[in-house]
Structure 1
Amino acid sequence: MTEHYLIVDDDAAFCAVLARALGRRGHTVTVAHDAAQALAEAPMLPVRIVLDLNLEGESGLRLLPALRARFPEAAIVVLTGYASIATAVEAVKLGAVQYLAKPATVDELMAAFGQVSANPALPVNPQPMSLRRITWEHLQRVLAEHGGNISATARALNMHRRTLQRMLAKRPVRE
């Protein structure tokens, strides 16, 4: 069955690769590189939406409610290179059906759209998070609490803004 995909990501190369891969599978694809383009150029078809969390410094979470309002029946998957528990929870609260960390394969993305209901049989990881990962998660939670404002987050954490920026510029710690 042919689906229509809307890819909202500021990385043009990533969009081109993903659009080509979905096109090869028989799907139609529209690409947008920012919030305004996503809302202006998106077709009014039933869609599956791939939304990047970081759109040129703007949070994709701010776009999620507008996409949900425009496409109430659409399945939205948030795809990000900066995955954290705090942003995953917020994305789901705002209407995303799944949340994936980059790099994700096209098969993983397609599976995420296929799994739109909760899975109570999901196994619990017996390994606790590392201290570095817990630190990353805490930074992301406090950043989300302050609406993405780095200066306010730095004040709340009682740390220098540049130090926080350096910490946030690094990729999340892999488990």
Structure 2
Amino acid sequence: MSESRLLLIVEDDTAFARTLCRSFERRAYTVLHAESLEAAEEILGSHAPQFAVVDLKLNGNASGLACVQMLHQQVPAMQIVVLTGFASIATAVEAVKLGACQYLAKPSNTDDIEAAFGHVAGVTDLELTNRPTSIKTLEWERIHEVLVESEFNISEAARRLGMHRRTLARKLSKQRVK
């Protein structure tokens, strides 16, 4: 098997993973799929992919951040893109610290992901805005930060935030967490 365009997709949503796999195969990638951290680790036992797409939230409240860390430790040259519907500044920063080259919010398509693989170095000519952050955005980012710190344990995150577990669950249900 050619390892030069080998891509690992770590995604627990079977339908979305199948779509991504087909799309990348049409672009001449050899695609491997894992539904969990353990399955990804098993694949790394026999393959060394150059690219990976990792969902931030995996089955059983498993963190894609742990997967990013493991992939980066096993294959440091791997270009890892984190895909999520659970986007926040805190998780984006953590993903990059742990070894991801890019962080994309869903919905992202194959073009977006492939472009992210090509923009590893970063861009310095982005327009800086002078728009203040809203209270709702700050609250949402703080909730995400605490969720990451508590390894996505809602009860523990609610305790750290000083709110009732049901209140936090209601806030999370208003935003699609995937």
Question: Could you state the TM-score of these two structures normalised by the residue count of structure 2?
Answer: 0.89
Deviation at 1:158, TM superposition (A): 1.4
Q: Deviations over 1:20-53 (max 9, x none)?
A: 1111111110011111111112442342000000
| 2:155 is aligned with 1:151 | yes
Amino-acid identity (%): 47
Name the amino acid aligned to 2:40: A
Q: State whether residues 8 and 49 of structure 2, in contact with CA within 8 Å, keep that contact through their aligned partners in structure 1.
A: no
| Cα distance in 2 between the residues matched to 1:138 and 1:77 | 23
Q: Which amino acid aligns with 1:52?
A: D
Distance in 2 between residues matched to 1:32 and 1:68, nearest whole Å: 16
**TM-score, normalised via structure 1 length:** 0.90
Task: Report how far residue 118 of structure 1 moved.
Answer: 2.4
Gaps of at least 5 residues in structure 2 are none
**Which range moved further: 131-140 or 21-30?**
131-140
User: Equivalents in 2 of 1:45, 1:156: separation in Å?
Assistant: 39
What is the aligned length? 171
Given the alignment, which residue of 117, 122, 128 partners 2:126? 122
Q: Which runs of 5+ in 1 are unaligned?
A: none
Distance verdict in 2 for CA 1:45–1:157, change over 3 Å: closer
CA contact (8 A) 2:8 2:52 kept: yes
Per-residue deviation, residues 52-93 of structure 1 (Å, max 9, x unmatched): 000011111112221112211101111001000000000011
Aligned CA-pair RMSD:
1.6
Opposite residue 117 of structure 2, the aligned amino acid is F
